[in-house]
Amino acid sequence: MTGRIFTSDHRVYDLPPLLAWRVLLTGTVPCDSYTVTFPYQAEMAPVLQKAAGFLGREQGRLTARGIVDEYTVELGSEGLTATLTGRGAAARLLDNESRPVTYEGATLAEIIRCHVTPYGVVTRETADVRADSVYTVAAGCSQWKALSDFCQTYGGFTPRFAVNGALLAVPEKSPQKKLVIGDGDPVLRCVLREDHYGVLTEALVIDKTRNTSYSVKNPDMIAKGGQCRRVIYTPGQSTWEAMRYTGEYQIRKSRGEERIVSVTMPGSFLAFPGDWISLRLRRMGLAGEFRVAEAESLCDPQRGCTVTLTLKERA
């Protein structure tokens, strides 16, 4: 992978050949992150002090883009090196807090205009979503929470980011890429984890102002003997539809961590968040369609290049 940095005074510098790197892509929150290490020379100091953005490419393909959070310079057994660490575009919204505000009949376009655009995040796609009730952004909420709560409550989806940092405020579409991983592929490591802790059997949504409630249940977890209820309070004047969306989202969110597969293979950037993997590992009794939730690519002189895909079952 090659690296390029952008300074706060709008200059561009190509980094020396990278000695090691790590790129974690999630497409949402926790946000994308990266770490790159390269040979350092004293004349780089003024550039690193103003480093504000990073862009990484692998064989001409964009693989990482984000802000620079930190740089370090180290003199050690490997000589003089520098390391850059940063996060993806979601960090701009996570790091900025919104003031309290109440919207009447807000649209997603309005939410993006007020809570996203001012922070340098470009929106590539926007769904046609409108609130049918009062939408309140509470004190202490990040700009990301203001956006994601609106999308989840009134659109039933979670916004995400493309690799180039553009916001995709639309429901996830059919995957453009699908890989098959079977017994004949060079799987270095595979871990299956099934965890029932925190998986909801019921989400009870309550509108305290109107003294109404709406219950959404998870029959699959109930059949397994689970018993875990959450009570969620919504802003006043919530509609039944908004309350149903809130309850269903809480159930889906809790089920998302129930069954996870982690697969490590040689190579890098074999798949991206949102891609689908057809898993056929008979030795582990694993077969099914999985969505890539996270993709971590690592490269260093000792281990070479590997990619670890965190997979979640298709809903």
Domain boundaries, the chain: 2-88, 93-169, 178-194+258-313, 202-255
Which one-letter amino acid corresponds to residue 12?
V
C-alpha 26/C-alpha 294 separation (Å) is: 5
Q: Which of 133-137, 155-159, 224-228 comes out lowest in average pLDDT?
A: 224-228
Fold of 93-169: Phage tail protein beta-alpha-beta fold (3.55.50)
- Indicate the pLDDT class of residue 78, thresholds 50, 70 and 90: confident
Strands 304-313 and 259-266: antiparallel
**Quick check: do 93-169 and 178-194+258-313 share a fold?**
no
Task: Give the model confidence (pLDDT) of 1-42 as tens digits.
Answer: 999 999 999 999 999 999 999 999 999 999 999 999 999 999
Instruction: State how far the Cα of 312 lies from the Cα of 254, in Å rounded to an integer.
Output: 12
Task: Return the closest-CA partner of residue 228 out of 259, 253, 260, 193.
Answer: 253
> From CA 150, how far away is CA 37, in angstroms rounded?
39
- Counting other chains too, the contacts that 69-78 makes at CB distance below 8 Å and 24 or more residues apart are 73/40, 73/45, 73/48, 78/19
CA 23 – CA 1 distance, rounded (Å): 10
End-to-end CA distance of the chain: 34
**pLDDT tens readout for residues 261-312:** 999 999 999 999 999 999 999 999 999 999 999 999 999 988 899 999 999 9
What percent of the chain stands above pLDDT 70? 94
- Average pLDDT taken over every residue of the chain: 90
Between residues 240 and 4, which one has the greater pLDDT?
Answer: 4
* Cβ atoms 161, 27 nearer than 8 A: yes
pLDDT exceeds 70 at position 235: no
Structure tokens at 97: 């807090």
Query: Which pTM was predicted?
Result: 0.84
When pLDDT is cut at 50, 70 and 90, the band that residue 44 belongs to is: very high
Give the homologous superfamily in CATH for domain 178-194+258-313: Bacteriophage T4, Gp27, baseplate hub, domain 3 (2.40.30.150)
Split at pLDDT 50, 70, 90, the class of 208 is confident
89 and 65 in contact (C-beta within 8 Å)?
A: yes
How far is C-alpha 280 from the geometric centre of its chain's CA atoms? 26
Is the domain 2-88 a CATH 2.60.110.10 member?
no
pLDDT of residue 245: 63
